[in-house]
Amino acid sequence: MPKADLDNARDNYPSLKMGVDEWVEFFDGPGGREAMGRILYDIYDQVKEDEEREMGQRRVGRRPIRPPVSLEEVYATIFPQEPSQEPFIPTMRRLLGSTSQRSFASKLGISPQHFGRYLDGKLKPDIYFLERVSTALKIHPSHFLEWRALYIGDVVTKVYTAKPNLSLHGYKAIMLGRKNRLVQGQR
């Protein structure tokens, strides 16, 4: 494999000679903001292309032209949030940040009092409510711990309903494990 000719590259591409201060000055200017937007969109496009390839959707030939997307969508794709390990209430309070409950409730199409009941723990969010919240927040519903639990529970229910013999085996295994723990004095 041939080695890169960095000296020649520095002569042909003066940006390689720039230091940190010069890059910061460049990106603070209008040309730098435009360049950063193109860089971020190129990364977004590559992430989407990789996702399509994983799902078997990638076509041979020229890249398809993607419809324009918001900067929020580009940012969320490039820097996805890790799923929360906390329950709904602290997760929701963190995600709301400085957004008021009243304005977020209006995005959901519910009253602020109704939304407040979820944040007070008086109402338990179901899978559909969590999907509405995640749509309003522009995140995937799997960010919420409860959504993942409800989704997995729904899948297990569908499988066990479709194949009852599996549910018997699963139930017997759980009961046997419980019985063994009780015999050993564990809960």
Domain extents in the chain: 1-80, 82-187
pLDDT at res. 156:
85
* pLDDT of 116: 95
What lies within 8 Å, CB to CB, of 166 at 6+ separation is 159, 160
Nearest to 138 by CA among 84, 74, 87: 74
Of 153, 135, 130, the C-alpha closest to 84 is 130
Give pLDDT, residue 7. Answer: 67
What pLDDT is attached to residue 2?
A: 59
- What pTM was computed for the model? 0.57
95 CB contacts (<8 Å, ≥6 apart)? 137, 139
Q: Which tokens belong to 77?
A: 């794709």
The predicted structure's pLDDT at residue 63 = 67
The pLDDT value given to residue 186: 66
Series of mean pLDDT values for 10-residue runs along the chain (187 residues): 63 70 80 81 83 73 76 76 91 92 94 96 95 90 93 88 81 79 70
Provide the pLDDT for residue 104.
Answer: 95
Give exposure, 78-110, as e/b (b: 16+ Cβ within 10 Å). Answer: eeeeeebeeebeebbeebeeeeebeebbeebeb
Return the CATH number of 82-187, one of 3.40.190.10, 1.10.260.40, 1.10.10.60, 3.30.70.890. Answer: 1.10.260.40
